[in-house]
Amino acid sequence: MAFQSFLRHKRIHAEAWQQARPEEYGKLEKMFELIGDVSFDQQKKFLFNPLRLSFPLPADLIPEPVAKPKAAPTATADPQAPAKAPAMKMKLPLKKSPAAEAPSSQVAAKPPALKGKVPLKGKLPIPPAEKTTDEENAKPKPPALKGKVPLKKKPSTEE
């Protein structure tokens, strides 16, 4: 896509813009050629509205929007054309609840009450700990040293 047709698509009068601000026009045209129309459109989108207001495209040059023609359904299908499988939509059967099937004269039963109590202050009740003997809780003692280890004395430095 050429820069001129891109500007026409954006409804900016390219010739008027080029005559009024040739430096800006030339700079953006070079950038358009380097990065392409899609990237340029995404990066410089904020510039288009002020340019469109400053250099509006005349009404006779505004391109007509291209409407995609809808294919009319044909009554007779081409027998040689491959048959297309119809698009399948997955619909799961809805399960009706027993309350929905019951006649309106019957009153629905209450849901079952909750068992147990909820703590009020966010503290959970602590279950009682199992009792253990002292032997199981006792930490193993390090082996006792036999005899004392003598400390080495520093040699005196007397002169």
In a domain, 84, yes or no: no
Q: Look at the pTM and tell me if it is higher than 0.85.
A: no
Answer whether residue 52 shows pLDDT above 80: yes
Residue closest to 51 by CA, chosen among 91, 75, 101, 15: 15
User: Could you tell me if residue 94 is inside a domain?
Assistant: no
| Per-residue pLDDT reduced to its tens digit, 89-126 | 766 666 666 555 555 555 667 777 766 766 566 666 66
Q: Is residue 50 part of a domain?
A: yes
Arithmetic mean of pLDDT, 42-52: 89
* 68 is a domain residue: no
Q: To 5 degrees, how large is the angle CA 16–CA 22–CA 25? A: 80
Strands (E), the chain: none
Domain range enclosing 13: 3-61
In a domain, 114, yes or no: no
**Confidence (pLDDT) at 1:** 72
> How many domains is the chain partitioned into structurally?
1
In this structure, is residue 109 part of a structural domain? no
Q: Measure Cα distances from 130 to 135, 136, 140 in Å.
A: 15, 12, 21
pLDDT in tens, 7-34: 888 889 989 999 999 999 999 999 999 9
